[in-house]
Every structure is written in C-alpha cells, then in structure tokens.
Amino acid sequence: MPLRYSSNFDTAGLDAREWDVIIIGSGIAGLYTAVNLDSGLSVCVLSKETMDENNSYLAQGGIAAAIGQDDLPAYHYEDTIRAGAGHCNAEAVSVLVNEAPADIDALCRLGTNFDRNPDGTLTTTREGGHRRFRIVHALGDATGREVVDSLLKACRKKPNIEIIENCFALDILTHNGKCVGVLACANSNAAVLETQVVFYGKSIVCASGGIGQVYKHTTNSEVVTGDGIAMAYRAGAVLSDMEFVQFHPTAFYKAHSEGSSFLISEAVRGEGGILKNNKGERFMPGYHEMGEIAPRDIVSRAIFSEMRKTGSPCVYLDVTHREGGYLRKRFPTIYERCLLEGIDITKDYIPVCPVQHYFMGGLKTDLYGRTNVAGLYACGEAANTGVHGANRLASNSLLEGLVFGRRCAEAIMEETARGDLDKPVIVSSEKKKGLITDVSQVREVLRQEMNDHAGIERNGLEMAEALARIEKIVEKLEKTALGSVAAIETLNMAVIASLILQSAIQREKSSGSHFRTDSQ
Ligand code: SIN
C-alpha cells in the first residue's frame, strides 16, 4: 500500500478556497478542458511553474488529424493501431481519429494560427509511422507554443477560469471514497515546503503530464516529475501500461550533458532527413521498409544498435540536401538552436541519439477521462486512455490531450460539477523520522538506475535488482518528513520508477517500446 499523503497537515488550520472544477496542469489537455467547460462553472487551473514550462509548450512536430483529400480517419486508425503493437484500445482509437478533425477546427476558431498553404488550406507533414501527410503544425516547428498561447488567450477571456502559477499540487484529497480537493503548496519555488493551502472542488482533473525527469536523459521539461500520477495513485487511482515508456529517436546529442535534451523533431525525417551512422552510412532501410519514418520504437532501437556496433555515442541526421531557405523557414526553432551548438543544419549533419520522450502508461480512464476514483478525471499524458498502446504514433499526443480533454469537460458538466461541494476537515499525521530537504543525490541515483535498467533494452534480472534498490529509496522517503518541493517530487519520481519497473518485470515478452533482451 502506498503512503496515503506525502506530507502531514490539518486542513482546519489552512487557508482554503473553492471552485467547481480544479485542473492540475496547464498544458494543452488542461487548458482545453478548461475552455470547454460551461462558463457557469468556476474553474481553477494550477500550474506548477509558469505557463510556458510544460511539455505541450515544447512540442515541435504537430497534431495528427485526417484532414487531407487522400486521407480518412480509417487510415489514421490503422496507423495508430499498427504503431501501438497490438496494445491499443480500439474503441478509444476510434474516438480519437474520428473526433480529431473537429477539434482541429475548434482550435482554428479559437484563434490557433496553424501553418497554411497559399490556397488557405492547412499545411500537413508526415512523421514516423504515418502513411499519409496528416500532421498540422504551427510556426514551422513550434506547434505546442502556438496552441498553448492561443488556449491561454481563450482561457483569459473567460472570467470563470482562474489560472494560478507557481503552485505545486501535493496531494489529491479524498473523503468517503470521493475526491474533494487538492492540497497544494502556494509557492513552488520556495526552498522549503511552506504555505500549504487547501483547494476544495467538486471535480478534479489530473492533466499534470508525464514522467520524463525520472530518466537521466529526456526531452521533457524540468518540471515533469510524474507528480499527478503519483498523487492520484496515493489517492487510490488505478494505473495501467506503466511499462510502456517511449524513447524519441532523435534528441540533439551533446557530450556530457544530462537532464533535458533538445528535440530534433521527427518532422525533419518526415521532410526527407536521413539517418547515418558515424561512418556516414545510411542504415534505416536495413531495419524497416519505412526507413527513417518507421514507427518510433523501431527507429530508436535501430539507432541504439548502430551506436553499439560502431562504438559511437550518437548517429547523425542529414538534411543538407534540402534547400537552406526552406529549412530555415520550416524549422526555425531547430535551426536557431542547432546554430547555438555550432551546427548549421543546412550544411552540417546533426548529432542525435534516443532519449526518453513520452509515457504511454498512467491513470487508467474510460472514454470520458473518468478514473476509478469518484470525481477524479485524467487527460493528456497523465492519463492512459488506451489510444497509444505499447508505442505512441507521432503527433497523437497533443491530439489525445484535445479530444479527451474536451470529453472530460463534457462528462464533468453532466456529472460531478453540478453536485454539492463537500468541504471535510482532513488530517494526515504520519510518524516521521528526521527531515530531508536536499535530495539532489537521491535523484541522481534514481535517474541513473532508470537510464541503465529501464531504457530501450531491458532484462528481468537487472530490473529486479534495480527495483529492490529503488524500493529502499521509496521506503526511506516515505518514513522521513519531506521538507521541500524537490523532496516531494523525488518521492513521486521514486514511486513512479518502482511502478514502471514492477510492470516491466511482469511483462515478460517484448512489445512496442518495451523490449526485453531476455525474452522476445
Ligand atoms: C516530434 O516533433 O518529433 C515530436 C512529436 C511527438 O512526440 O509526437
């Protein structure tokens, strides 16, 4: 049994506020849920840091939707199911692909400025695993930024929505088996855990994103530490598919760097980029008939295998055959960022390697984002709707956030947000030994363990040994008073790491992103 609450508190002594709906997370899924809620409901969106610090904001590639003349939702469905390696929930995929075009239209009406062709139609590109051009994008390669900014503007026009930045959600409060609110720390940047507050709500939406920082190398933002998934787990929510962690094939490789890596969008390969090993040889056609745009798990493993064969820490992405002006316009963010690292993508090969990118697992939901805990909904990367299976198809993540965020809003309007607000006094008073605030070393150990034993290739024996070590970390953190936001994040990370390992050990056969060297 997990610890019920990560800190001790008594809500009777805390400042309290109340809303109809509380949304934890300010990425695309959270903001789109908020704008789709009736204006008569009071809504609060909690952002752990500032609004531009989340994975949605960093998303480059785009949003998949069958909007082209030669495309159909049925083709998008086939590609999603194929990439998911037999693990997708077919009904959820059907909802996703059929409702995608309407949500793209809705975004356009809200003011999202997608890139367009001279005739005014939306420009589409292709990425790994897609057999059609169906990915809409914005600002060339800054789709997430444009969508978040436009949703934020839409939220700010609605007086019923309040956005609170720099507010760290510590735990989801439950009473008599129902979700009643969120315990939060009002200043997420404070060095010590201070100013606990209680936010009561009739419906709570967990849209807190993924788990990237559990790994040593990730494309994810620094704030993505799996908090929402861990606190919902403590509140009794069922998790699923925890073993399925996606590695993006092409993060910018920089020697001796750790933490967040800069992404080189799959769209670069979609627009003709070629992968070469350190001898300058193209290798992808030898691994898959779709070459560079094979599904992501296959490209990541192929790169990993080339790196091992050649003893090199990276491979190279060559897009120099495309015209310079075109590249600068189509990929302005990547062009500028690579230049800062001394690489001119119009002339030089880009050094790349696979790093953690996306989490397919998470809070198990139905087709309207409902979890098993009454009043608790989930959407976006924190949720496991079943659309991604064992390997997410490129550019289906922002889409999932939109489709299922809107569906969460629909369910909330029908259900919990109309009931009475329950404001029970809740007390947590676990016996703790000592106080811990600086967790930097524990975090390092954890991230190294996951890097070494729960990465692109896994084996049962090593995972079992790593799990035993991580369980000791969890136990220690659970028994100690956690005196900083970083310490609570680290508990969340350790819990998520142990759950990933437990699931990965149980799944003995390889599937999609979960590749076991000790059993095929
Ligand atoms: C990318 O631009 O390669 C990322 C898109 C995604 O993760 O779906």
Position 417 scores a pLDDT of: 65
Residue from 145, 269, 296, 507 carrying the catalytic annotation: 296
Q: Report helix, strand and coil shares of the chain as percent, to nearest 5.
A: 40, 20, 40
pLDDT level of residue 412 (50, 70, 90 thresholds): very high
Which contacts (CB < 8 Å, 24+ apart) does range 285-292 have?
Answer: 290/128, 290/129, 292/128
**Which ligand 1 atom sits nearest the alpha carbon of residue 141?**
2
Domain ranges (residues) in the chain: 9-244+360-418, 248-356, 429-506
Tell me how far apart the alpha carbons of residues 226 and 30 are, in angstroms, rounded to a whole number: 15
Q: Which of 219, 211, 214, 212 is nearest to 352 (CA)?
A: 219
CB 270 within 8 A of CB 127: yes
Which residues sit with their C-beta closer than 6 Å to ligand 1?
A: 60-61, 265-267, 358, 394-395, 397
Q: Is 296 a catalytic residue?
A: yes
Ligand 1 centre to CA of 494 (Å) is 26
Largest CA distance in the chain: 67
**Tokens 């083709």 -> residue:** 75
The pLDDT value given to residue 482 = 94
Task: State which fold the 9-244+360-418 domain adopts.
Answer: FAD/NAD(P)-binding domain (3.50.50)
HEC string of 250-277 equals EEECCCCCCEECCECCHHHHHCCCEEEC
User: How far, in Å, is the centroid of ligand 1 from the Cα of 3?
Assistant: 35
CATH of 429-506, one of 1.10.1760.20, 3.40.50.1970, 3.40.50.12280, 1.20.58.100: 1.20.58.100
What pLDDT band is residue 191 in, cutting at 50, 70 and 90? low
Q: What tens digit of pLDDT does each residue of 218-233 get?
A: 999 889 999 999 999 9
CATH of domain 248-356: 3.90.700.10
| Proportion of the chain above pLDDT 70, given as a percent | 99
In whole angstroms, what is the distance from residue 446 CA to residue 289 CA? 37
| Contacting residues for 277 by C-beta, under 8 A, at least 6 apart | 283, 306, 309, 310, 312, 315, 316
The per-residue pLDDT for range 1-13, each reduced to its tens digit, is 789 999 999 999 9
| pLDDT at site 72 | 97
State pTM to two decimals. 0.95
What does the pLDDT read at residue 59?
A: 76
Q: What is the pLDDT of residues 74-103, one digit of tens each?
A: 999 999 999 999 999 999 999 999 999 999
Mean pLDDT score of the chain, rounded to an integer? Answer: 94
pLDDT tens digits for range 345-372: 999 999 999 999 999 999 999 999 999 9
